[in-house]
Amino acid sequence: MDDSRVTIENLTPVRKRLRIEVPAEAVQAELDRALQRVGQQARLRGFRPGKAPRAVVERVFGDDIRREVLGRLVERSFFAAVEQHGLAVVGSPEIDADTLTPGEALRYSASVDVRPEIALGNLGGFAVSRPSTVVGDDDVERALASVRESVAQLRPVEDRTIVEAGDVVRVDLTSRLEGAEPARREGVLVEAGSGSFPLALERQLVGQHRGATLSIRVPYPADYANASLAGKTADFDVEIKELRTKELPPLDDDFARDHGKCDSLAELRARIRTDLEREAAARAEAAVRDQVLEQLVARHPFEVPSTLVERRTETLLAGLDVRMPEGAERERALTGLRDQLRPRAERQVRVELILDAVAQHEGVTVADADVDGAIDAIAARERQVPERVRAVYDRPEARAVLRAELARERALARLLSSSAASPMPPAAAESVAHEK
């Protein structure tokens, strides 16, 4: 398709419209080849195989042939135009083409997103604060208490009927959410008083009595963790069936052996401290990385292709573990989730694009051996057979994605090496710990 004529219109910095014209002679030649091929293969009543006249073949198969040829001509000429003009296309083009007319040129337009051209500026001098990685005795005791809570035994409460904070209450409940069908669940265990906001169902159970049947309205906060409930109000019909209390095991060496796989309680505390220190170090590294990336993005504003943002939004949506309503409410919930996820998706794409530019600017390369090593590391981390993981990355596109990720990591490592980190104030460090 070298003889096709191409003009390019810049709609935005990251979106272009290609107007492509395939000459009439090229169109006719492709139609002739398609007609000949179909004529040789066609089996029409009254004619021997391959002997039907061209006019008959065209009358019977003409519409299908023209559609097929149109698709082939558009595909070939579009990719030839992209290669000729060196366009870094992302996503699929939006094609606007008329039907194919024998003997006439094919004219169509293709609108497509392209990677932005990022003019890199200052890549050094990032000022960042590193959270403390010190683990205190209180941190160890809280983690130990959490382990103890996780293995607590539940025993029925016989000496009272009033629900107290900390009781585990068995309830039957029917929930009704705006626009959704009622949902009935029986034998649900709820820890009274443990709700994360003042009017949570768990908190409203405190002070009620065994055998009570009550209606509870729960207005979920706008920032509630479950996005399908955030900002909505649910009504619950609740019947309190049973009260139970937690029976915690004593903290001793037997506890360490039974639940911590350690020979003594002192050894379990030491192991918990080591784990917490490792987690604190990882949080600190993540906080430093985030600060460098925030400053890098702030220094380099550019437009992000909407195609990449929408694709990443769908990826994030697919990774959510949320229970969705049915029917029309499902589409509304999905739309709401997409709106919530889109800013995060845009930031992720923005970071990747700018790190790609940094990697290219810094001459970062990733050898095949490095890719193979990363594949082995993935297999070890996910406890899979290496051969099975390698089979996934046998596909060139999968290896290309992994290679790009490794290049970004190396580009970021270079930026981090030039960043001066100072201790983070305690209040800010505590906020980072809660966010992770």
Rg (CA), the chain: 32
Q: Which of the residue ranges 78-92, 275-289, 318-332 would you say has the lowest mean pLDDT?
A: 318-332
Burial 8-46 (b: 16+ CB within 10 A, else e): eeeeeebbbbbebbbeeebbeebbeebbeebbeebebee
Every domain of the chain and the residues it spans: 5-114, 153-247, 264-435
Q: Where are the alpha helices (DSSP H) in 218-264?
A: 253-260
How far is Cα 220 from Cα 200, in angstroms, rounded to an integer? 8
pLDDT, tens digit, 9 for 90 and up, residues 124-135: 888 899 999 999
Report the amino acid identity of residue 217: R
Stronger pLDDT, 385 or 104, i.e. the higher one = 104
The structure tokens listed for 59 are 């009358």
DSSP 191: E
Pick the CATH number of 264-435 from 3.90.1560.10, 3.10.129.10, 1.10.3120.10, 3.10.105.10: 1.10.3120.10
Topology of domain 153-247, CATH: Chitinase A; domain 3 (3.10.50)
Which pLDDT score, from 0 to 100, does residue 430 have? 56
Given a cut of 70, whether residue 426 has pLDDT beyond it is no
Per-residue pLDDT averaged across 32-44, rounded?
78
Q: What is residue 431's predicted lDDT score, i.e. its pLDDT?
A: 54
pLDDT at 434 over 60: no
Residue 436, pLDDT score: 45
The count of other CB atoms within 10 Å of the CB of residue 427 is 7
Looking at domain 5-114, its CATH class is: alpha beta
Contact 112, 93 (CB under 8 A): yes
Give yes or no on whether 5-114 and 153-247 have one common fold.
no
Q: Which residue has the tokens 């970004």?
A: 408
